[in-house]
Amino acid sequence: MMRHASGLPATLAMLACIVLGAAAASPDPQQLSCILANCGAQATACLTDAGCTAAQDCFAGCAADDAVCSNLCFFSTGTKLFGELALCSSDNGCTPPTLVGNQTCPDFEQSPAAAAVDLSAALVQGGVWYVAGGANRGYDCLPCQVALYQERPDGSLSVRGSSFVNGKLLDITWETAEPGGGALDLNYTLFESLPVEERWRVVDVSDDGDFILLLICSTILGGSEYVGSQVYSTTKNATISADVAARFDAAIQEAGLADALPAISGYCSINYSASCQYADWLPVSGPAASPAAGPVFAPAPVPAAAGPSSAAARAGPAGGVGALALAAAAAALLL
């Protein structure tokens, strides 16, 4: 683990570890000066907080280019004070928006079948959902991921999610969920301080309706972007068959997403071991809540006139989200 000297240099080094991101192997002193000048109160509160100290200690054990390690630290040690410091730094231009993995949300035209899926209705019908695979090991494959979708009395969509990372239960409630056919816009606040906006879009659905492939675009901290993908299933530890993988690979190619997403064989799997813990509002000890009588995602018919979809993928190779998560710089500053 990285150790820091005492005094002001150590304080600055710790601040770099907390705010500037895993990609910043050599933090810019001007960025630190900006943070101290504009976010002094938040920096002081964070640097004297046990939660922020725990975050720094965790980050210090990660290599500068290890986004998976960085993000596990971020999600398992993030606190409200941690988030307030990161948000202040971003709002004041001290840490400008970072394209995670050099990606922006790719231009992507849904196929007629994908666009015809009523995503929100299908999610509610399934009730409890698990992740059968994810494109990004630093975010899409957090251990023990599970989500509950319900319809509120006013007809709006209620979404809650849970993960169990490094011994900490991560419990998220989406504040707004705006459906739009084969898409869903979601907003939530992470650690009571970091606003996150997400847009989910259906890429394809398996023939039997048991699996759905989603493209997920997220924005946090004034424009930092993350592009990921998950394969949803109502079955825990579901195995994606070779036939389904081939179908989804073809859909990724057809949609022009090959530069943004890996082949399904490269998707990471989720750890749903016996050590998982879940939020008490999730009925995951038994069958999924209100299970559907048949396939949840009934494949939609494709209009006869439909042709191949076109898209211009602008994203770079899928990468970790250490910079988005404002994870740790591995090198000490001013030691």
The domain that holds 216 is classified in CATH as 2.40.128.20
Contacts of 1 (CB under 8 A, 6+ apart): 57, 60, 61
- pLDDT score, position 319: 31
Residues 69 and 119 in one domain: no
Name the nearest CA neighbour of 269 among 240, 291, 297.
240
Q: pLDDT at position 16, please? A: 57
Q: Are 111 and 254 in contact (CB under 8 A)?
A: yes
CA pair distance 153, 102, nearest whole angstrom? 41
Q: Provide the number of structural domains found in the chain.
A: 2
Query: Phi and psi (nearest 5°) for 194?
Result: -110, 105
CB 217 within 8 A of CB 226: yes
Asked, for residue 298, whether it belongs to a domain, the answer is no
Residues 73 and 128 in one domain: no
1 found inside a domain: no
Q: Does residue 273 sit within a domain?
A: no
Residue 210 has, within 13 A of its CA and on its CB side, a CA count of 12
User: For residue 47, how many other CB atoms are within 10 A of its CB?
Assistant: 18
Say yes or no: 122 and 251 in one domain. yes
Contacts of 184 (CB under 8 A, 6+ apart): 119, 120, 123, 157, 177, 178, 199, 200, 201
- Which pLDDT score, from 0 to 100, does residue 7 have? 36
Are residues 222 and 91 in contact, defined by beta-carbon separation less than 8 angstroms?
Answer: yes
Domain of 181?
104-266
Contacts of 253 (CB under 8 A, 6+ apart): none
Q: CA–CA separation, 199 vs 188, rounded Å? A: 12
77 and 119 co-located in one domain: no
Same domain, 119 and 42: no
276 assigned to some structural domain = no
Whether residue 255 is found in the same domain as residue 125: yes
Q: What angle do CA 286, 150, 106 make, to 5 degrees?
A: 105
Cα–Cα distance between 170 and 165 in angstroms, integer?
7
pLDDT the model gives residue 83:
85
Q: Does residue 279 lie within any of the structural domains? A: no
Q: 241, 266, 291 — which closes off a domain?
A: 266
Considering 80, 97, 114, which residue would you say is the last residue of a domain? Answer: 97
pLDDT of residue 221: 74
DSSP 3-state of 130: strand
Residues 258, 177 share a domain: yes
Alpha-helix runs per DSSP H in 92-193: 112-116, 119-126
Q: What are phi and psi of 51, to 5 degrees?
A: -65, -45
Task: Specify if 325 maps to a domain.
Answer: no
Taking the C-alpha atoms of residue 335 and residue 331, their distance in angstroms, rounded to an integer, is 10
Domain end call among 227, 244, 266? 266
**Beta-sheet pairing, 183-190 with 194-205:** antiparallel
Same domain, 152 and 260: yes
* End-to-end C-alpha distance for the chain, whole angstroms: 15
Instruction: Kindly state whether residues 61 and 111 are assigned to the same domain.
Output: no
Looking at the structure, tell me whether residues 78 and 127 fall in a common domain. no
Task: Answer for the pair 187, 199: CB distance below 8 angstroms, yes or no.
Answer: no
pLDDT at 320: 30
Same domain? 173 vs 247: yes
Distance separating alpha carbons of residues 31 and 36, to the nearest angstrom: 9
* 51/172 same-domain check: no
Tell me, what's the pLDDT at 244?
A: 96
The pLDDT value recorded for residue 102 is: 47
* pLDDT at residue number 292: 34
The model's pTM: 0.75
CB 103 within 8 A of CB 318: yes
Sign of the C-alpha dihedral computed for residues 22, 25, 31 and 33 taken in this order: positive
Give the pLDDT of the chain (335 residues) as one tens digit per residue. Answer: 233 333 344 445 555 555 554 444 456 778 888 888 999 899 888 888 888 878 777 877 877 677 778 778 878 887 888 888 888 988 898 876 664 544 678 888 899 989 999 998 889 988 899 999 999 887 898 899 999 999 889 888 889 999 998 888 888 888 888 888 899 999 988 888 888 899 999 999 998 888 999 999 988 876 778 889 999 998 999 999 999 999 999 999 999 999 889 999 999 999 898 889 888 888 754 433 333 333 344 333 333 333 333 333 322 223 332 222 222 222 222 22
Please check whether residue 151 lies inside any domain of the structure.
Answer: yes
